[in-house]
Amino acid sequence: MSTIKVDTYLTRGGASEIAIDKLKGVSSAASISVVGEGGSTTTNLQQGLAKMWALGNEGSGSLDSFNNSGTTDNGTGDYTKAFTNSFSSNNIACVGTSAGDNTRNYIDTQTRATGSIQIRAQDQSASAQDSRIAMGIWGDLA
């Protein structure tokens, strides 16, 4: 294997950008650190990325998604999102919003598994509602 060491990389056109299909760290399980805005701290790239996200008019299907292989409608406001690529455990962080008809809605996670998550959309009175949901999940993929 060869090693290239440079201080600044410029394309033939003078831009400092790289076109690449795959990025992989060399050490620490292919981990990549990104230097923060202040230049003194780093963030782990893999840990900071959402591993699943979805936007949908639940009850009528997804509008767009990433790592979501399908949605099961379990009843009014009750959905199960299946993952294309499973997580290594059910210790995942889910964040989401829900928009209903002139009400304040929210989503609540019901059941978490490595291959899916069950969510419930409800209004401020805790009544189940079919509504538009936007959600993201962070965690370690299997």
Using pLDDT thresholds of 50, 70 and 90, give the confidence band for residue 24. confident
What is the per-residue pLDDT for 30? 65
Q: In what order do the strands lie in the sheet with 78-83?
A: 61-66, 52-57, 132-138, 93-99, 104-112, 116-123, 78-83, 68-75
**Rg for the chain (alpha carbons), in Å?**
20
The residue among 92 and 39 whose pLDDT is bigger is 92
Q: What is the pLDDT of residues 90-109, one digit of tens each?
A: 999 999 988 766 667 888 89
- The predicted model gives 122-141 an average pLDDT of 89
SS3 36: coil
This prediction has a pTM of: 0.76
